[in-house]
Structure 1
Amino acid sequence: MVRGAARIPSPCCGKDMSIIGTRKRKSKERSGETKLYSIRRLSCDNCSKIHHELPDLLVPYKRYSSECIELVLSNPSTHDIPADESTLYRWFDWFNSLI
C-alpha cells in the first residue's frame, strides 16, 4: 500500500481532496520482476476530478519504474534493463519532447 502522510492539494485547483478508494498498479523493476502497488484514488472536493497518488518510484503512464527509465536515459549504451529497443526509443522520444 502506497500512502502519503500529508493532505494533498488538488493539482487542478489547489483545493483539498478526499480519498475515494484504491486501485492496483503494476511496475516492472530492473531485475525484470513485476511488483504490484495499491495506489490511493483521490477526488477533488471542489471540481470532483479524480487523481491518483503516485510515489516517486512510479512514472505516470509508464510501466517501468523511474529507476529503470532514469538509468537508460542517463547511460544509453551501458544498461541492463529488460526492455525492447522500441520501448527504449519511445523513452528517449518522450524525454526529448519534455525538454
Structure 2
Amino acid sequence: MGKALDILLGRKSSKFSLLEHAITRNSYLKNRQQAVFSFSQSDVIQLLNLGHQEQALLRVEHVMKSKNMLDAFDMIESYCHLLKQNMSLIEKKQRMP
C-alpha cells in the first residue's frame, strides 16, 4: 500500500532519489577531474614551451589518467541517465511474479 500511495501522490521512490544523488555526485567528481585535467594539460604545454621535454613526458601520464577518469565519469553519467529514463520499466518488471 505504501508504494502505491507514493505513486499516486507522485512521490519518488528511494531508488530514484539514490540515482539522483549518484548523478549529482558524479557531476561533482567529473567537474573536479576536469579541473585537474586542465591544470595538468596546461602544465605539460608550459613545460614543452620551456624546453623541458623529459619533465613534460612524465607529466603526460597525469594528463592521460585524468582523461581516462573523465571518460569513465561520462560513461557513468550516461548509464545513470539511461537507468533514470527506464526506472518505471525496471520497477514494473520487479513487481511481476
Relative contact order, CA 8 A, sep 6+: which one is greater? Answer: 2
TM above 0.5, yes or no, is no
Between Structure 1 and Structure 2, the one with more strand by share is: 1
TM-score range, shorter chain: under 0.3
The structure with more helix, counted as a fraction of residues: 2
Task: Give the structure-2-normalised TM-score.
Answer: 0.26
